[in-house]
Each structure stands twice: as C-alpha cells, then as structure tokens.
A and B are shown apart, each in its own frame.
Chain A
Amino acid sequence: MTITLKNVSFSYTESLDDAVIKNLNFEIKSGECVVLVGESGCGKTTISKLINGLIPLYQSGTMAGDVLLGDKNTADMTLAEISRHVDSVFQNPRSQFFNIDTDSEIAFGCENLGMDPEEIRERMNRVVKDFHIEHLAGRNIFHLSGGEKQKIACASVSAIDPEIFVLDEPSANLDLKTVADLAEIIKFWKSRGKTVIIVEHRIHYLRDIADRICYVKDGQIQDEWTPAELEAKGPEYAASLGLRCMNLEQLKNKAPELAEGPKRSKEPAKQSLKESLLFNNLHFAYNRKFLVLDIPELSLPRNQITAIIGHNGAGKSTLAQVLCGLRGTWRQKRKARKYGAYLIMQDVNHQLFTESVLDEILLGMNSQDENAALEILERLNLKDYASCHPMALSGGQKQRVAIGSGVSSGREIVVFDEPTSGLDYKQMLAVSATLQKLAASGKTLLVITHDPEFILNCCQSVIRMEHGKIAEQYLLQGNQEKLIDAMLNA
C-alpha cells in the first residue's frame, strides 16, 4: 500500500499562516523503510501523524491537501479502519498501555477490531515467539522496565499485523541493548514486506535497516540519502543536521572532550577528603533478603562529572534516590538531608511547582534573595524567562529551571537522571555545556545515562553498576572502548 501526501499543509492553529507543513508532496512505497530526521520542531512528527491518520481525524488544526493510503483518502476513513492498515508505537513507554497485564495488552488491538478469539490467541503466540518475549508473558505491565514496555507495545501492534508501522522516536528512553532488540524487531517487520516509517534522532541502529533517510526542515523534505551516502558525508555533516552519531564504533576512537577536568582536581583521589566525596554504607533493601543496593563505599571525584552506567535494574536509580534522601533507612534519609544530593528527575514536570521561573528558584532557597535568584537564572540563560510559567517552556528550558532550583538549594552534589533522552545533537550539546558550567562553579555532578555520545562529551569518569554493586570505576580518558563495549553488551 503506497502512502501519498499530496500538496499537504497543516497548522496546529486555526490559520494556515503558521503552518508547520507547507505544500508537502511525499510518497512512500510499499515495503520501504523510511527514516524521518530533522531538528526539533521541523515537522517530522507532524508527518508521522499525517500517515497514521491522527491528522486530520484526531488532532485539531487546519489542513489543506490530501493523504492517501493506497487509493483511499484518510479523511474519508475512521481511525478504527485506518488502524487495520497503519499502526503506531510512540516514544513514552509508560503511557501507551491500556491494560494492566501483558497478555491483554498484546491482544488489545486485535480485540478492538473484533477478531475471533481463536485467531487472536494464535497471533499472540506467534508474536511472542517471533519477538522472543516469552519471559514477558503473563506479567504486570507496571512492573516492567521501559524497554520491556516498549517491546510489549511493539508486540501489540504487530499482532494486528498492519501493512504499515509508524514509530515516533521509539528508542528515546531505551538503553543500548534494548535499542538493539528494537532493531531486530524492525528488521523482522521489514523481512515480512512491511512498510516502516521511523521518526528519529538516533539512527545508529538503523544503518542496515533504512532504505532512505529523509531530512525534514521547515515542513519540507529538503534532502534524502541512503544510510551509506549519509555516513560517507562524515560525522560533522550529520551533526550539523542535528543527528546523533551514526556509527557507535567510531565513538571508540573519539577522545573525550574533557580529559583533564578543571584545574583543581586532576584525578579522583581516594585519600584526601578535599579531593573527593566519600559515601559509606549505601545499603538498601526492599525486603529483608534482597539487597537492591550494596555499596560499602563510594568515592566521587569533586567538581567533576561522573557518569553512571549499567543495565536496567542494576540499581542506578536506587542509588540516586538514596543519595538524595528519597529512599533508604531513616538514618540514611536524615544524613542525606544535610549532606546529600539534589536530583534532577527524568520527568522534569514532577518538580516544577510554581507559576513563574523566578518563584521556582526562590522556592528552593532558605533566604528569599531575589538578586541571587536572578543571578542563577542569568548563568543558565533563563533571565528572559523569569516571569514565564515553568510548564509552558520547552523541555530543555524546563530542565534548566530544575537545575536552577537545584543550585538554589545549595547542595553540592547534583544527580541527573537521563538528562538527554530524546534530545537531538544540538540539544545534547547544550545540556553538556550547562553541566560543564555547573561543575566549574563548584558542584559535583553524577549523571545516570544511556547516552555514550553525551558521556564522551562531558564526563570525566565512569562508574558501572551491576546488581546493586559498583562493578568498576575508571577514568574515561583511555577507556573509551571499554565504555562503549560495556554499554553495548549490558
């Protein structure tokens, strides 16, 4: 089934003057794997919505032109009809599932379409076998990790067996190993002759899968390449388009940006307390038997950015929460309140409370010093937004507001939980710059991340966790290959 966009314009408002897509003509043939790339706001997600029918049937706005699936106009169909032919997987694993258990979720789409129960069972079994997710069957979705949830989402749409799959930044919140599994799933679909459209920033896992990569800018498809052509143009060119690194192997040879670190502390000293921060007895268990966190001693180099890596369930988030006093024994919590860390959460919306950015910074302060608050905003490039509502800002700006409130809390250690998930190259660099500034101003930073490019860009040392213990801790300089291998094979 060919997808055709004929002279399509779309705007999210009531007039086409601020159209996101202008007079777009685009065609995707049956069985193709097309990747839509571009900087944030360029319109690639809008194009994906045009393909899966959300525009014009669900999303409010103004549209001109037609979208054809085969020879039928989507405007004449219902979303239920379209879902027989086009199905989508979105970027946020936690908000896609309708059911509480995995089996029902996989069957969800088929049940919606009224298929025969016997057939649904057959399809479910087939999908579980094809995706190798037997270990996920019959489980409570709330207990799954992000990557596992995303696999269930893929299984759910795969059971419907449409001709076209639309994926909107599916790898955004996943670690490298799960991304590899996702690549396998897409390869599988391709081998069945399905059309797959993927909107992405991270395209390293699609090198062998994509047929063409389309660069979207200002609502137009400006350029088109095969993966080989794009890679041949060199990493700087890809970076200028906002794309993340195409080839992870190349990263192994890349020298980390911050080899030296600020002049004061050159290496993570183990002895002197001035050079590094020591934590003792970081043990935590949900129940008596099973220790989730088992770290007798942790030493963090001061005024540096340390990355924490490890597969899902290794205990990284628990460590962050214990350090910040959000979890742990009563004694641990009390200590953390005095000497502990400030956490910048993955979902920044959970930590924005007030009606203006300035108030947000003031909220964390003990002494309501407006001048000091404005200074913090200045350093974070937020001075112009001082009176804006925090929740109305963009994702990157919200993150900086949260960082600002962390700074104003006066705590020396700041922990970041996945600060770069879903960001394009330029946004990642901006976050990296902010973190470096923060470290230079005297803070010690700890970053939980799955993003190897980001680590190479701003971190000085790496801690790898496994089963609640610290498996290794090393300086990044000279150990890039070790890092990349560890992340790929977690």
Chain B
Amino acid sequence: MSNVRSTGKKTSNTLVRDLVNVGVFAALYIVLGFMSSSIGYIPALIVFSTASIALVTSVPMFLFYSKIERPILCCMLFCGIFGGAMLVMGQSVIMFAISLAVGLLSGTILKIIGKNFAGLYMANIVLSLMSSSMMLPLWLYTEKYLEYTRGMCDEGYVAKLAELSNSIWPLVGIYTFGILGAVIGGLVARRIMKKHFERIGLAR
C-alpha cells in the first residue's frame, strides 16, 4: 500500500471553508441578534436586551466554534465584521475596537483551551461583551449619544435614556446580564450540541 496519508489537512485549500463559515455565521448572528435585541426598545428592559442576544446566539456560536480550523483568524474576522457593521450603522469607533479585542480574546481562548466545553463556554462569555458594548456610548459620550437618538425618537424615550445614564449601575447591569445570558446560553447550547449536533455528526 503506497504512502498512506491523511487528507484534507489545514492548508490554503481549506481556508475558504473557514472564511465561508465566518460569513454564514456572521449573517446568522446579525439576524438573530437583531431580532432578539428588540426587547431592548422598552427602556426599562434595556438591561435584558444583551442577555437575550447572548442566550439565543449561544447555540449557533457553539456550532461555529467547533467547526472552524483557525480560531484566532476566524474569531477576529467574525467580531471585526460585526463591529464594522455596527460602525457603518452609526455606532462609535470604540465599539469597533472593542469588537476586535473581543475577537482576539475569544480566538486565543479557543486556541489555548481547545474545543472542549470549557473553551467553547468561555469564548461564548467573552463574546457577550461585544454586544453589551453597544450601549457603552451612552455612558462614555452621554451628550453626543442623546443627541444622536434625539434625531430618531421622541423626547420621552430620550429622557428615559438620560435617566439611565445618570448612574453607572445600568451599564454594569447590561454587562452582567449579558454575561449571565451567555452563561445560561452556554449550558443550553451544550445540551443542544449533545442532544442534536453530535448525533447528527455536524460537530466535531
């Protein structure tokens, strides 16, 4: 038997596969994130919006993390694309910078800890920081952000936002609930991975 060897190794030939995965899951993340963040349009519930995003997107993200061959590149691209999309839609540059940092961190976690449950779980939690940071400008550049929303919605909503921005606690709440959403979402995702994807053969 002449030269038995394994095929399909990680080379430039398989790079497109990873890149396509980034594109597919980025599209899915944005659609799901957008829909599940709608809860945040009620100002009192704004604290929960990131929690719902993290919860719902945990499942596809677990699948994404388990499929990619190049964690650091793919995570950075994924988060960068998300941050870039937010930038284009009017969010601040700091959001883009945070996205890249989140991407780098989650990718590194995956690379170092590996693709076992611990790695996927932690990467998912780190990811929630990215969507939580969407509201950061309200606290960092309060006046400018209020001006920005005043152009889009009515006084009542802006007043409520201004109220929220007076104390740091709602911001802390947003991040905490985001992480909480990712924590619960991670457990749900693990159950679903075991129940479904591992039996189908989609997850490695």
Give yes or no for direct A-B contact (beta carbon below 8 Å).
yes
Cα distance, A56 to B6, chains bound together (Å): 8
Contact (Cβ within 8 A) B7 A57 = yes
**C-beta contact mask, B31-64 vs A, less than 8 Å → 1, else 0?**
0000000000000000000000000000000000
Cα distance, A58 to B12, chains bound together (Å): 10
Q: With a CB–CB cut-off of 8 A, which chain A residues contact B2? A: 7, 64-66
Cα distance, A16 to B3, chains bound together (Å): 12
User: With A57-B11, A78-B12, A78-B13 known to touch, is A392 a contact of B5 (CB < 8 Å)?
Assistant: no
Cα distance, A66 to B5, chains bound together (Å): 11
A9 interface contact, C-beta 8 A: yes
Cα distance, A355 to B6, chains bound together (Å): 33
B89 interface contact, C-beta 8 A: no
Cα distance, A366 to B3, chains bound together (Å): 59
Q: With a CB–CB cut-off of 8 A, which chain A residues contact B199? A: 355, 388-389, 391-392
B8 interface contact, C-beta 8 A: yes
A392 touches which of B6, B8, B201 (Cβ 8 Å): B201
Contact (Cβ within 8 A) B196 A389 = yes
Contact (Cβ within 8 A) B1 A56 = no
Cα distance, A7 to B1, chains bound together (Å): 8
B150 interface contact, C-beta 8 A: no
From DSSP, what is the main secondary structure of chain A's interface residues? mixed
Contact (Cβ within 8 A) B13 A58 = yes
A63 touches which of B4, B11, B200, B201 (Cβ 8 Å): B4
Please give the distance in Å from B11's CB to the nearest CB on chain A.
Answer: 7
User: With A58-B17, A78-B12, A79-B13 known to touch, is A391 a contact of B4 (CB < 8 Å)?
Assistant: no
Contact (Cβ within 8 A) A60 B200 = no
Contact (Cβ within 8 A) A56 B3 = no
Please give the distance in Å from A397's CB to the nearest CB on chain B.
Answer: 13
**Could you tell me which residues of chain A, from 54 to 95, have a CB within 8 Å of some CB in chain B?**
55-66, 78-79
Please give the distance in Å from A73's CB to the nearest CB on chain B.
Answer: 11
**Could you tell me which residues of chain A, from 23 to 67, have a CB within 8 Å of some CB in chain B?**
55-66
Cα distance, A9 to B3, chains bound together (Å): 10
Contact (Cβ within 8 A) A64 B4 = yes
Q: With a CB–CB cut-off of 8 A, which chain A residues contact B9? A: 60
A369 interface contact, C-beta 8 A: no
Q: With a CB–CB cut-off of 8 A, which chain B residues contact A7? A: 1-2
Please give the distance in Å from A184's CB to the nearest CB on chain B.
Answer: 32
Contact (Cβ within 8 A) A63 B13 = no
Contact (Cβ within 8 A) A16 B201 = no
Contact (Cβ within 8 A) A57 B8 = yes
Contact (Cβ within 8 A) A61 B13 = no
**C-beta contact mask, A384-397 vs B, less than 8 Å → 1, else 0?**
00001101100000
Please provide the 5 A-B residue pairs with the shortest distance between their CB atoms, ordered closest to farther: A60-B8, A56-B7, A389-B199, A57-B13, A391-B200
Identify the A interface with B (CB < 8 A). 7, 9-10, 14, 16, 55-66, 78-79, 355, 388-389, 391-392
Identify the B interface with A (CB < 8 A). 1-9, 11-14, 17, 195-196, 199-201
Q: List 25 A-B contacts (CB under 8 A).
A: A7-B2, A9-B1, A10-B7, A16-B1, A56-B7, A57-B11, A57-B13, A58-B14, A58-B17, A59-B7, A61-B7, A61-B8, A62-B5, A63-B5, A63-B7, A64-B2, A65-B3, A78-B11, A78-B12, A355-B195, A355-B196, A388-B199, A389-B200, A391-B196, A392-B201
